Amino acid sequence: MRRTRLKHVCLAALLTLAALGGTNTLPAAAAGTTGSTAATAAAPASPGLLQAMRQEFGLTEEQAVARLEAEQAATALEPSARRTAGAAYAGSWFDAAEGRLTVAVTARASQATRAAIRADGAGVRVVEHSARALDAAKSRIDRLSAPSAVGSWHVDPVANTVVVTVVRDRRSDNDVQRFLAQARAAGPVTVETVAAAPRTFAAGTVGGDPYYTGNFRCSIGFSVYGGFVTAGHCGQAGAGVRGWDGSYIGNFQGSSFPDNDYAWVNVGSGWWTVPVVLGWGTIPDRLVRGSAEAPVGSSVCRSGSTTHWHCGTVLAKNETVNYSEGAVHQMTKTSVCAEGGDSGGSFISGDQAQGVTSGGWGNCSGGGETWFQPVNEILNRYGLTLHTY
């Protein structure tokens, strides 16, 4: 295992150096933070990624290519569509069936505004509640004390409501009913049931993968200049971090959990950072080129040290997740599975960094849902710069 890993590390370094023009900025005998063979500087629609999408979504290769292109267009269009809608903006999402961004607006949006959004290539849906009103309702719910059987809550732009999830066999509990009554008083609320409560995905030391702190194994998220970002529940500020081979990497420089679930670790002692996400042999390793935020409905993939590479879709943004340790805010929910030890790992859409794995419910045998903390929030919080190709 170590010889194979070392070979991958050296190849990653050589390919990264070549891609950066052969600069001599990386120590030749060091171990790379992300490890494994770096991907070539190809378009996001690599053969491996197309194969993963075909398996995950039941698409032909042509359909997978078309979907990736449409998602990239939607990601680029979303910020301008929001500005065009102004105060009438009520959310947006990637509509896989239509292959384009759909923008929700309230009735106060003029015909000229709606026409401008359509002219840019997006669909328009008229709804009752603005994004501002729904966000205000969610903020009021954030101030409530939620029982453990309440899993999460988020603004759903498609349903134009705040969706609250409750563990299926606990919905009739008195404390759950009291919480739901208070939530409904805060604004428009829809209740959905889930199979289990969310949990974080840290794991005890079982050997062999990306990093360890104390008795826990977690996964590297994304390289930043000077270190990498990961999940806050994996370690407190000051805690030492060891790599896959047991050697010292650095320390947690900042960490927040609960309320948030993010952290960053400095890298030294012969380790360096590279803008790569492991594909674990399922696809070629991914070069990271930026952090443009993918819309709801877009495809997204996760890389982690336990279950490796899995894909799904973005289900919701700005969701409050009610872990047993406390609520975590501004999370993004996905249909991707994860398991213990995957915490902190990378969520990526195409070649754009999305966030670090926090927790969820279910597993990669029976399915489930997983949340990530958006990477741009982490970068802004700590003043970090994403390491990109």
Q: Tell me how far apart the alpha carbons of residues 132 and 34 are, in angstroms, rounded to a whole number.
A: 39
CB neighbour burial string for 219-255, b if at least 16 within 10 angstroms, e if fewer: bbbbbbebbbbbbbbbbeeeeebbbbeeeebbbbebb
Residue 274, token pair as written in the block: 């590279």
Report the C-alpha dihedral over residues 165, 314, 370, 135, rounded to 10 degrees.
-40
User: What are the structure tokens assigned to 170, written together?
Assistant: 């606990």
Alpha carbon distance 149, 134 (integer Å)? 23
**Contact, 298 vs 335, CB < 8 A?**
no
Structure-token pair, residue 286: 């991914």
Strand partners, 266: 227
Give the integer Cα–Cα distance in Å for 293 and 210. Answer: 25
Q: Which of 222, 158, 190 is nearest to 354 (CA)?
A: 222
195, 194, 185: which is closest to 162 by C-alpha? 185
Task: With both helix axes pointing from N to C terminus, report the angle between 61-85 and 111-119 in degrees, rounded to the nearest 10.
Answer: 150
In angstroms, rounded to a whole number, what is the distance separating the alpha carbons of residues 65 and 54? Answer: 10
Q: What is the DSSP string of 201-220?
A: --EE--SSSSEEETTEEE--
The two three-digit tokens of residue 319, written as one number? 């969701």
Active site residues: 233, 261, 343
Closest CA to 127 of 164, 173, 93: 93
Distance CA 383, CA 132 (A): 27
Task: Give the Cα separation of 211 and 26 in Å (integer).
Answer: 20
The residue to which tokens 């004390």 are assigned: 145
